[in-house]
């Protein structure tokens, strides 16, 4: 009975804490400017099913795709087992789904095989990161915390799977001993090989079984509450992020409505602009970005596929699309913390541009969309880069001098080079 109460309190506390943190993140995302992403619901749903559920963009790199698929499918399916753990925990039962008979044995057997593949995949991931030191997991933005974050996640998953398998091994041994409460249930294709590692006495076995059971469930609850602080949030945000992702051609940049009004008024003095809210052009800070950009930032799991295909990054420039997303997340987190501590109107004098992302980074971008194409969850770093450029150019007139010259040429000669408009048709005279 005491165990049941402790279980219930822990579970409710974990869910409550997670809800509070999740709501803070949703509030932070809502600090972004509006963007309409509610059109074409069917196409959006299909995109989500294909890209997030189906992981269609992962297959470009087959090895990590396969390993990630194991972890993903393991995570989703083993969570059915968590349902049983929840019910057992609350009602003090043991293996409540045992009534399913043959199906139960099949399920537990499958969970064990999945647990093993998750274990092995995570171990390979750790090796790739820490021993092989693959280039994709390095870079200026991959400081101590992002590296540790990745390792904590992988180690936790290995520990959780180990606990699950050890628990089953102890259970199987207890079942063989005929211990009361431990009914004959489940199939143990993997954990049967662990049985020899365990003690033979019933009391010691019960201690192992219970210990692993509690470790497993507390581990899951703790992991749930680690998510809001971690890059691992993608396991939840991948779904809304792909649902609300851009469905238009990647080359299409938004036409700013506020600018359209001013340009129309300039070209036609009789034009009466529609009411739009005054604001600055482009983005200086995260709150000038759209909510989609901010959700992108929370979704990023820092895999670095974007950066590894970025032509600027490949050739040694400072720009890294992954850093753009990580900086955006760090900054919006900071803005959120300021609101919590000092109220909604607090200004800390910092901004995304300059305090996080430098001018050198934004001007190195070729707008080639390779980063957007590479992201397995449809994050768009390019939009943020362009919005920062818009601020630099339209609010500050701070562009590299050669860019200013190019724009001057367009204004005066209707071409980016210094040629006379009268010569535009001269090409017809050649050959």
Between residue 391 and residue 430, which ones bind another protein under the rule CB under 8 A?
391-394, 399-400, 402-403, 405-407, 410-411, 414-417, 419, 421-428, 430
- Within 234-253, the residues that bind another protein by CB under 8 A are 248-253
Nearer to another protein, 187 or 385 (CB): 385
DSSP string, 116-131: HHHHHHHHHHHHHHHT
303 sits near another protein (criterion: CB under 8 A): no
Shortest Å distance, C-beta 31 to another protein: 23
> With binding defined as CB under 8 A, does residue 2 bind another protein?
no
39 binds another protein per the rule CB under 8 A: no
The residue range among 126-134, 154-162, 199-207, 307-315 that interacts with another protein, by the rule CB under 8 A, is 307-315
CA distance 139 to 312: 13
Q: Whose CA is closest to 69, among 138, 124, 132?
A: 124
Q: What 3-state DSSP class applies to 420?
A: coil
d(Cα 52, Cα 388) in Å, to the nearest integer? 28
CA 291/CA 279 separation, integer angstroms: 16
Q: Is position 65 an interface residue for another protein (rule: CB under 8 A)?
A: no
- Provide, rounded to whole angstroms, the least separation between the CB of residue 362 and another protein: 9
CA distance 403 to 368: 18
Contact flag: residue 138 with another protein (CB under 8 A): no
Residue 301 or residue 313: which is nearer to another protein going by CB? 313
Output the smallest distance, CB 366 to another protein, in A: 4
Angle, CA of 68, 307 and 46, to the nearest 5°:
50
Query: Pick from 264, 342, 346, 350: which binds another protein (CB under 8 A)?
Result: 264
Q: Are 258 and 377 in contact (CB under 8 A)?
A: no
Contacts of 259 (CB under 8 A, 6+ apart): 281
d(CA 21, CA 19): 5
CB 361, min distance to another protein, A: 8
Beta bridge partners of 353: 357
Q: Does residue 260 bind another protein (CB under 8 A)?
A: yes
Stretch that binds another protein, among 99-107, 126-134, 338-346, 362-370 (CB under 8 A): 362-370
| Structural contact between residues 286 and 356, judged by C-beta atoms closer than 8 angstroms | no
Q: Which residues are CB-neighbours of 168 under 8 A, at least 6 positions away?
A: 108, 112, 186, 188, 190, 191
SS3 306: helix
Least Cβ distance, residue 356 to another protein (angstroms): 17
Among 184, 201, 366, 412, binds another protein (CB under 8 A): 366
The binder of another protein chosen from 45, 79, 314, 340 (CB under 8 A): 314
Binding of another protein by 367 (CB under 8 A): yes
* Residues of span 9-38 touching another protein by CB under 8 A: none
Task: Work out how close the CB of 281 gets to another protein at its nearest, in angstroms, rounded to a whole number.
Answer: 7
- Work out whether 309 is an interface residue with another protein (CB under 8 A): yes
Binding to another protein in span 319-338, by CB under 8 A? 319
Residue closer to another protein, measured from CB, 348 or 360: 360
CA atoms of 200 and 205, how far apart (whole Å): 7
Q: How far is CA 281 from the centre of its chain?
A: 28
- Please state the closest distance from residue 427 (CB atom) to another protein, in A: 4
Per-position x/- string for 281-300, each x denoting binding to another protein as judged by CB under 8 A, each - no binding? xx------------------
User: DSSP character for 332?
Assistant: H
**Nearer Cβ to another protein, position 326 or 392?**
392
Residue 312 sits in the site that holds another protein (CB under 8 A): yes
Contacts of 255 (CB under 8 A, 6+ apart): none
The verdict on 180 binding another protein (CB under 8 A) reads: no
Residues 6+ apart with CB under 8 A from 25: 228, 233, 298, 336
Q: How far is the CB of 259 from another protein (least distance, A)?
A: 5
- Helices 2-29 and 291-299 sit at what angle, rounded to 10 degrees? 140
Enter the tokens of residue 45.
């749903």
- The verdict on 63 binding another protein (CB under 8 A) reads no
Q: Does 149 bind another protein (CB under 8 A)?
A: no
């Amino acid at each position: 009975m005491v165990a049941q109460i402790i279980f219930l309190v822990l579970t409710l506390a974990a869910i409550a804490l997670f809800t509070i943190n999740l709501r803070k993140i949703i509030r932070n995302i809502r600090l972004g400017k509006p963007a309409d992403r509610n059109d074409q619901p069917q196409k959006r749903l299909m995109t989500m099913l294909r890209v997030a559920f189906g992981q269609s963009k992962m297959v470009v790199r087959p090895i990590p795709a396969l390993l990630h698929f194991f972890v993903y499918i393991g995570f989703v399916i083993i969570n059915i087992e968590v349902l049983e753990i929840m019910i057992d925990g609350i009602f003090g039962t043991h293996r409540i789904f045992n009534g399913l008979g043959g199906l139960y044995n099949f399920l537990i057997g499958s969970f064990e095989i999945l647990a093993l593949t998750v274990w092995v995949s995570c171990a390979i991931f750790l090796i790739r990161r820490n021993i092989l030191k693959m280039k994709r997991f390095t870079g200026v933005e991959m400081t101590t915390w992002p590296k540790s974050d990745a390792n904590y996640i992988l180690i936790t998953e290995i520990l959780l799977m180990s606990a699950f398998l050890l628990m089953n091994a102890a259970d199987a041994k207890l079942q063989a001993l005929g211990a009361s409460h431990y009914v004959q249930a489940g199939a143990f294709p993997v954990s049967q090989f662990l049985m020899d590692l365990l003690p033979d006495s019933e009391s010691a076995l019960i201690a192992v079984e219970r210990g692993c059971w509690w470790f497993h469930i507390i581990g899951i609850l703790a992991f749930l509450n680690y998510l809001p602080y971690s890059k691992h949030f993608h396991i939840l945000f991948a779904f809304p992020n792909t649902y609300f992702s851009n469905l238009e051609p990647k080359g299409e940049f938004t036409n700013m409505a506020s600018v359209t009004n001013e340009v129309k008024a300039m070209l036609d003095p009789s034009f009466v602009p529609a009411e739009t809210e005054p604001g600055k052009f482009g983005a200086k800070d995260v709150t000038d970005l759209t909510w989609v950009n901010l959700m992108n930032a929370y979704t990023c799991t820092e895999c670095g596929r974007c950066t590894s295909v970025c032509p600027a990054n490949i050739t040694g420039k400072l720009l890294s699309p992954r850093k753009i997303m990580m900086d955006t997340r760090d900054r919006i987190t900071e803005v959120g913390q300021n609101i919590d501590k000092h109220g909604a109107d607090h200004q800390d004098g910092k901004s995304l541009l300059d305090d996080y992302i430098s001018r050198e980074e934004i001007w190195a971008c070729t707008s080639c969309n390779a980063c957007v194409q590479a992201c397995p969850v449809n994050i768009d770093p390019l939009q943020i880069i362009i919005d920062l450029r818009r601020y630099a150019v339209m609010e500050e007139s701070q562009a590299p001098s050669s860019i200013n010259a190019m724009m001057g040429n367009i204004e005066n000669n209707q071409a980016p080079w210094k040629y006379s408009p009268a010569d535009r048709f001269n090409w017809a005279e050649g050959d």
